[in-house]
Amino acid sequence: MNVPASETGIHKRVVLAEADIDRALTRIAHEILEANKGPRDLVLLGIPRRGFPLAQRLAQKIAAVDPSVDADLITGQLDVTLYRDDLQRNPTRSPLATQLPPSGIDDKVVVLVDDVLYSGRTIRAALDALADLGRPRIVRLAVLVDRGHRELPIRADHVGKNLPTSSRERVRVHLAEIDLIGGSAVNEVVIEDRA
């Protein structure tokens, strides 16, 4: 938000600009292909809301590298709301749609995609949700930002940027597909600190 810190008491600094995000995603796309030795059986499942556009972008980058890949056919969305362990602690959340690619996930290499990896609880929920939907051969995790402070034994396979943060800070990812700021679509990662 383009609000001076003096008015809100919030300090914010941009840690990844649009070009940084793009570079990180390109690198992750290559890593995914490398780890999988090609695009075979790959399924990218984004965790709403911002994991889904990231999964779409990654799929497009993979398709750009390997023209045999149809980005739409390997991308899906995995909602984890109904599997969260913190439902009672927060105001009621409405579940969002889960959409799997036509090939399904059985025996696939599923890459979960999320914007920020923090406590690890969302990924724990995603693994449970995944188990109710099918049985992938391998599950990997790709995140744009890993800010630390894990509460579960979970780690990402592919990380756009490791960001050491204090727990007081908030990491906000803005993606053009979802976020309009001041009327224009923005791609950036910012850290907000309530001073």
Q: State the nearest-atom distance from the C-beta of 83 to other proteins, in Å.
A: 6
Name the residue nearer to other proteins (CB basis): 73 or 131: 131
> Contact between 102 and other proteins (CB under 8 A)?
no
Residue 73: what residue type? L
CA distance 145 to 58: 15
Q: Which range binds other proteins by CB under 8 A, 74-82, 112-120, 148-156, 183-191?
A: 74-82
> Contact between 4 and other proteins (CB under 8 A)?
no
Name the residue nearer to other proteins (CB basis): 38 or 104: 104
Which residues in the 126-155 window bind other proteins by CB under 8 A? 128, 132-133
Burial class (CB within 10 angstroms; exposed 0-12, middle 13-18, buried 19+) of 195: exposed
| Structure tokens that stand for 182 in this block | 């001041």
Helix (H) or strand (E) holding 189: strand 188-194
CA distance 167 to 112: 24
Q: Quick one: which of 56, 75, 77, 98 contacts other proteins (CB under 8 A)?
A: 98
CA distance 56 to 72: 8
Q: State the nearest-atom distance from the C-beta of 103 to other proteins, in Å.
A: 16
Burial class (CB within 10 angstroms; exposed 0-12, middle 13-18, buried 19+) of 182: exposed
> Contact between 6 and other proteins (CB under 8 A)?
no
Q: Quick one: which of 97, 153, 168, 182 contacts other proteins (CB under 8 A)?
A: 97
> Contact between 104 and other proteins (CB under 8 A)?
no
Name the residue nearer to other proteins (CB basis): 84 or 172: 84
> Contact between 77 and other proteins (CB under 8 A)?
no
Distances (CA, A) of 157 to 18, 65, 178: 22, 20, 25
> Contact between 185 and other proteins (CB under 8 A)?
no
> Contact between 40 and other proteins (CB under 8 A)?
no
CA distance 87 to 190: 26
> Residues interacting with other proteins, by CB under 8 A?
79, 81-83, 87-98, 128, 132-133
